[in-house]
Amino acid sequence: ESSFFNYGGGLKKANGIIVNSFHELEPHAINSFLEDPGLRGLPVYPVGPVLNLETKPKETVDSDNIIKWLDDQPPSSVVFLCFGSVGAFDKDQVREIACAIEKCGTRFLWSLRKPPPNGTMGPASDYPLSDLTAVLPEGFLDRTAEIGK
């Protein structure tokens, strides 16, 4: 509780707010920051997303296949599910999300992250492709192969 108050108190000393987004992606959200009287006129700096295009994709991601698949989809037809670099869910939550995605029938690209071991505060990590069947509902990858990655 005290850490929350310390964090809030520190915000009063801020000279600005950095937001991991950009105006063209989320104009409503960025404008709401700019118009919020509670921010006391603090400048908002939308600086994201910050990408390192020089690094090679991890072996868990077949980026060429994903880009080709995205290029083959109709414009504005794919939902991107990504909960950030630390966003991860336990097995039951992953299965619920997967069931909802499948029932919607909407094309999707899902960045699924593995949570740190129980009781730790480490970062989320990528699932090896072979581990996906352990957390997704049985047959999910086969049933959604045409509409999702």
Rounded to whole angstroms, the Cα distance separating 75 from 63 reads 19
Residue 114 has pLDDT above 90, yes or no: no
**Who contacts 99 (Cβ-Cβ below 8 Å, separation ≥6)?**
137
Is pLDDT at 113 greater than 60 in this prediction? yes
Q: How far apart are CA 109 and CA 62, in angstroms?
A: 12
Residue in 49, 53, 51, 52 with CA at minimum distance from that of residue 22? 49
Give the pLDDT band of residue 26 (cuts 50, 70, 90). confident
pLDDT band at 58 (very low <50, low <70, confident <90, very high): low
Nearest to 81 by CA among 26, 148, 7, 28: 148
Q: Which residue has the tokens 């994903």?
A: 66
What's the confidence (pLDDT) of residue 51? 62
Provide the residue ranges of all domains of the chain, joining segments of one domain with +. Answer: 1-46, 61-144
CA nearest neighbour of 2 among 17, 39, 10, 119:
10
**pLDDT-based confidence at residue 21 (cuts at 50, 70, 90):** confident
pLDDT, residue 146, reads 92
Q: Which two tokens stand for residue 35?
A: 């118009």
Q: What's this model's pTM, rounded to 2 decimal places?
A: 0.61
Domain 61-144, CATH among 1.10.10.60, 3.40.190.10, 1.25.40.10, 3.40.50.2000: 3.40.50.2000
> pLDDT tens across 65-82, in order?
889 999 999 999 999 998
At residue 60, φ and ψ (nearest 5 deg) are: -80, -10
